[in-house]
A and B are shown apart, each in its own frame.
Chain A
Amino acid sequence: MTETKKDVLLTMKGLRIEGRADEEWLEIVKGVDVTLHKGEVLGLIGESGAGKSTIGLAAMGFARDGCRISGGEIMFDGIDLRTASEATKRDLRGKRIAYVAQSAAASFNPAHKLIEQYSEAPVQHHVMGRSEAEKDAVDLYRRMQLPNPEEIGFRYPHQVSGGQLQRAMTAMAMACRPDLIIFDEPTTALDVTTQIEVLAAIRDIVEQFDTAAIYITHDLAVVAQMADKIKVLLKGEEVEEADTRTMLDHPTQDYTKSLWAVRSYARAEQPPVEASATPVVSVRNVTAAYGTLDVLKDISFDIHARRTVAVVGESGSGKSTTARVITGLLPPRRGEVLFNGEVLPPDYRNRTRDQLRQAQMIYQMADTALNPKLRLRDLIGRPAQMYLGLQGKQLDDRIRDLLSLIELEPDDYIDRLPSELSGGQKQRIGIARALAAEPQFIICDEVTSALDQLVAEGILKLLDKIQGEFDLAYMFITHDLATVKAIADEVVVMKEGVVVEKGPKSEMFQPPHDPYTELLLSSVPEMDPDWLTELLQSRGALPAA
């Protein structure tokens, strides 16, 4: 698996790619070298903006709209992709080089059945006829361990789950048995439990057909399972490249070490809550429904001051719905929400201004949570003005204090628009807006899941710091167990609208577990390259390859 003496398939030397922004060309990839041998898997890793996807696309001789390949050479199996005609490149793409995108749901044409889309490339490239291709599809679906391989191809994309769709897409990329597949974050949008299936299937099929692959991701633990060697990128430049094991055990560069270290962050253990203390928020026997469908069934848990309760579960488990019940957006069908021992009106419209002030929310997507037309001054200042009646100088001082608190220089930032901020900075503004109301309780809905690891760590540390300063209670909704380990005091595990298990963090990460918690915990990828193999063996799901 780690042989390197095989023939060279792809070389990129001194690759430079420029993107056009504000009337000028900016270099986004600054001289990167890539050498890939037949049957080898290269992991490209880095934060957003590192140029991972751009390099991946360049391996097909393609640059996105508004980008151009400005320097270096790209040789694929003796063909110079920089000078090759469009017709030559078109003939290569899909046939000898294939691409698997991050969002399978967005990449499939919703109007055609899976198998029709599967046969498209082989028929187009005259590799096989339609009926032959359809037979082949069933075979590949079976190898990808899709349920009902005979039948699944005749479904439309919306009729299969996200993980299945991602596998169907990988099968589709395999249709012409390409020499090289580019995987662009294929599992990023999936739950951990689904991710495992997809990872296993991808790894398997790449090995079976001895296909070379470029695997692009920001998740180190994932790439550790998939790649023979790893290349770390930062702002369009290579930081270092090495064998997977060498890279994991002995990173040489500081940046790589910092990436590795992110996962080790954990906050100090908090003393247990006194039994007599009134919880800040108490969810009691809540059952809630959209229409006639119950999405929450008899949920109860407490959140105490200065404590963080992490609510964990896969998508569709009812985590965000719980938040909507607490904030009053979705009045529960039965049960109640208590705030400092008092029952809150179920509908937010009936709550007093002070009740609204006490519970604030930070959203997953900072992009849609901040009004793009308001300046930071108004975004942060509005809650302070509205709830605390601050005006003029006082208000201005308060906004500046809050900006300093979230580690943004007030003079630089106070009059900016959200579009002039980075993703992490936007999320910080979301935090400042919540703090401006001086609440006792903040709901954090997947606040770090759209951020890079280093940035996410910064946000978690900030949240931790202000919790201590303002005695806040947090409800932390997440599907990422690494985040739970980092920040939670107590954990509530949810599945299909039911609380499966709850308790202090220390207990949660120690056996014995509820079977579902066990599944969740064991599905979190670890930095050990053998982790996936061992896990699959222990689950007895390893196919006879």
Chain B
Amino acid sequence: MGFLTGLFWFVVVIIASMAAGWMFRAAAVGISPRGVAKELKTAPLTASFGMLMILIYIVVAVFAPLIAPFSETAIVGREYQPWDSVHLLGTDNLGRDMLSRLIYAARNTVGIAFVTTALAFGVGSILGLLAATVGGWLDQILSRTVDVLMAIPALIFALLLLTIFGTSVINMILVIALIDSTRVFRLARAVAMNIVVMDYVEAAKLRGEGLWRLITREILPNAMAPLVAEFGLRFCFVFLTISALSFLGLGMQPPTADWGSMVKDNATLISFGDITPLLPAGAIALLTVSVNFVVDWQLQRASGLKE
């Protein structure tokens, strides 16, 4: 019977999510200006559900102090209290309110992951496009450097760099951005390689366009679709890397709340059949899935793919 109940709840959750997505899309179409509304109408339910979830995460992250019932770091009870009316999700290994920490962690983890991904993309795609456009020795130097960096396993390399430079939020952002930008570089270069041979790029070169304009006007817009798709995936990887590093104790430092370290801190509870430590993991999973829903939709639009 356990299986059937599980199946029942699974179906309920799926239907509820789709309904939420549908309502969100209807509401969004209603309140946005006409041009945007037209685009939104084309969104599949998965994408509107994804947008709704991302919006909720953003609201939670921005208004964390208002929403959270307790402070991020205050010890407000005994350790490992069960769920009750005061501490809705119980307390953690030090007696801090689980729900409040979950809410504050959205701010830290999501914010840092976003900054890191954006940085990795900025550096990786600009260098990648540059390498493809200029070619020659610049391409060789950049590509070989990236090959060297990519030859070292990512997590071990990150651990190594963090041990050398010390663990701080800034260092973590820089290290992860550096490692991830090599992956972005490879993709951006490969995509741009196919674009620089097009006649319109040749026409622009013959027109005497400068390098910057060549990249931003002629190449980048046509490389956008795969880069956007990669952004979604990369965001999730960065997110997981941060959580992994935090889990290993080299990421976010206590007492800052973070979903990765929250899983680690409360992992003991799993052996007692308590699902509380899985909630932060669920939060990570939900966000990554949501981001990918939206990215898939955008990718389909940008590349003109039909189902």
Do A and B belong to a common assembly? yes
Whether the Cβ atoms of B206 and A348 lie closer than 8 Å is yes
Given contacts A356-B208, A386-B208, contact A374 B217 (CB under 8 A): yes
| Cα distance, A384 to B218, chains bound together (Å) | 17
Residue of A nearest to B198 (CB): A368
Using a Cβ–Cβ cut-off of 8 Å, how many residues does chain A contribute to the interface with B?
Answer: 23
Q: Which residues of B contact A372 (CB under 8 A)?
A: 222
Whether the Cβ atoms of B199 and A363 lie closer than 8 Å is yes
Residue of B nearest to A367 (CB): B199
Given contacts A373-B222, A374-B217, contact A368 B199 (CB under 8 A): yes
| Cα distance, A368 to B202, chains bound together (Å) | 10
Whether the Cβ atoms of A371 and B218 lie closer than 8 Å is yes
Q: Which residues of B contact A66 (CB under 8 A)?
A: 306
Q: Does B221 contact A (CB under 8 A)?
A: yes
Whether the Cβ atoms of B202 and A329 lie closer than 8 Å is yes
Whether the Cβ atoms of A369 and B207 lie closer than 8 Å is no
| Cα distance, A200 to B77, chains bound together (Å) | 94
Q: Whole-angstrom distance from the CB of B149 to the nearest CB of chain A?
A: 31
Whether the Cβ atoms of A373 and B206 lie closer than 8 Å is no
Using a Cβ–Cβ cut-off of 8 Å, how many residues does chain B contribute to the interface with A?
Answer: 17
Whether the Cβ atoms of B206 and A353 lie closer than 8 Å is no
Q: Does B156 contact A (CB under 8 A)?
A: no
Whether the Cβ atoms of B207 and A386 lie closer than 8 Å is yes
Q: Which residues of A contact B203 (CB under 8 A)?
A: 361, 363, 369, 433
Whether the Cβ atoms of B221 and A373 lie closer than 8 Å is yes
Q: Which residues of A contact B218 (CB under 8 A)?
A: 371
Q: Does A458 contact B (CB under 8 A)?
A: no
Q: Does A383 contact B (CB under 8 A)?
A: yes
Q: Does B200 contact A (CB under 8 A)?
A: yes
Given contacts A363-B199, A365-B199, contact A371 B222 (CB under 8 A): yes
Whether the Cβ atoms of B200 and A371 lie closer than 8 Å is yes
Q: Which residues of A contact B206 (CB under 8 A)?
A: 327-329, 348, 356, 361
Q: Does B205 contact A (CB under 8 A)?
A: yes
Q: Which residues of B contact A437 (CB under 8 A)?
A: 207
Q: Does A382 contact B (CB under 8 A)?
A: yes
Residue of B nearest to A356 (CB): B208
Whether the Cβ atoms of B207 and A382 lie closer than 8 Å is yes
Q: Which residues of B contact A373 (CB under 8 A)?
A: 221-222, 224
Residue of A nearest to B222 (CB): A373
Mark out the residues of chain A between 348 and 397 whose CB falls within 8 Å of any chain B CB in the assembled complex.
Answer: 348, 351, 353, 356, 361, 363, 365, 368-374, 382-383, 386
Whether the Cβ atoms of A356 and B217 lie closer than 8 Å is no
Q: Whole-angstrom distance from the CB of A162 to the nearest CB of chain B?
A: 22
Q: Whole-angstrom distance from the CB of A416 to the nearest CB of chain B?
A: 16
Mark out the residues of chain B between 190 and 213 whose CB falls within 8 Å of any chain A CB in the assembled complex.
Answer: 198-200, 202-209
Whether the Cβ atoms of A371 and B208 lie closer than 8 Å is no
Q: Which residues of B contact A361 (CB under 8 A)?
A: 203, 206
Q: Which residues of B contact A356 (CB under 8 A)?
A: 206-208
Residue of B nearest to A353 (CB): B208
Whether the Cβ atoms of A370 and B202 lie closer than 8 Å is no
Residue of B nearest to A364 (CB): B199
| Cα distance, A328 to B205, chains bound together (Å) | 11
Whether the Cβ atoms of A348 and B205 lie closer than 8 Å is yes
Whether the Cβ atoms of B207 and A383 lie closer than 8 Å is yes
Whether the Cβ atoms of A370 and B207 lie closer than 8 Å is no
Residue of B nearest to A383 (CB): B207
Q: Whole-angstrom distance from the CB of A85 to the nearest CB of chain B?
A: 27
- Say which residue of B200, B205, B208, B224 sits within 8 Å of A368 (CB atoms): B200
| Cα distance, A371 to B207, chains bound together (Å) | 14
Whether the Cβ atoms of B205 and A371 lie closer than 8 Å is no
| Cα distance, A344 to B208, chains bound together (Å) | 15
Most buried by B among A356, A369, A373: A373
| Cα distance, A348 to B206, chains bound together (Å) | 7
| Cα distance, A309 to B114, chains bound together (Å) | 58
Residue of A nearest to B197 (CB): A368
Mark out the residues of chain A between 300 and 339 whose CB falls within 8 Å of any chain B CB in the assembled complex.
Answer: 327-329
Q: Which residues of A contact B222 (CB under 8 A)?
A: 371-373
Q: Whole-angstrom distance from the CB of A172 to the nearest CB of chain B?
A: 32
| Cα distance, A371 to B217, chains bound together (Å) | 9
Mark out the residues of chain B between 163 and 206 whose CB falls within 8 Å of any chain A CB in the assembled complex.
Answer: 198-200, 202-206
| Cα distance, A329 to B197, chains bound together (Å) | 12
Q: Which residues of A contact B217 (CB under 8 A)?
A: 371, 374
Q: Which residues of A contact B207 (CB under 8 A)?
A: 356, 382-383, 386, 437
Q: Which residues of A contact B306 (CB under 8 A)?
A: 66
Mark out the residues of chain A between 40 and 67 whose CB falls within 8 Å of any chain B CB in the assembled complex.
Answer: 66
Q: Whole-angstrom distance from the CB of B39 to the nearest CB of chain A?
A: 15
Q: Which residues of B contact A348 (CB under 8 A)?
A: 205-206, 208
Q: Which residues of B contact A386 (CB under 8 A)?
A: 207-209
Q: Which residues of A contact B198 (CB under 8 A)?
A: 368-369
Q: Can you list 10 A-B pairs, Cβ within 8 angstroms, ordered by A?
A: A328-B206, A348-B208, A353-B208, A363-B203, A369-B203, A371-B200, A371-B222, A372-B222, A386-B208, A386-B209
Residues of A within 8 A of B (CB): 66, 327-329, 348, 351, 353, 356, 361, 363, 365, 368-374, 382-383, 386, 433, 437
Q: 10 more A-B contacts (CB under 8 A) besides A329-B206, A371-B221, A386-B209? A: A348-B206, A348-B208, A353-B208, A356-B207, A356-B208, A361-B203, A361-B206, A371-B218, A372-B222, A382-B207
Across the A-B interface, give the 6 residue pairs with the lowest CB-CB distance, nearest first.
A373-B221, A369-B199, A371-B200, A368-B199, A356-B208, A363-B199
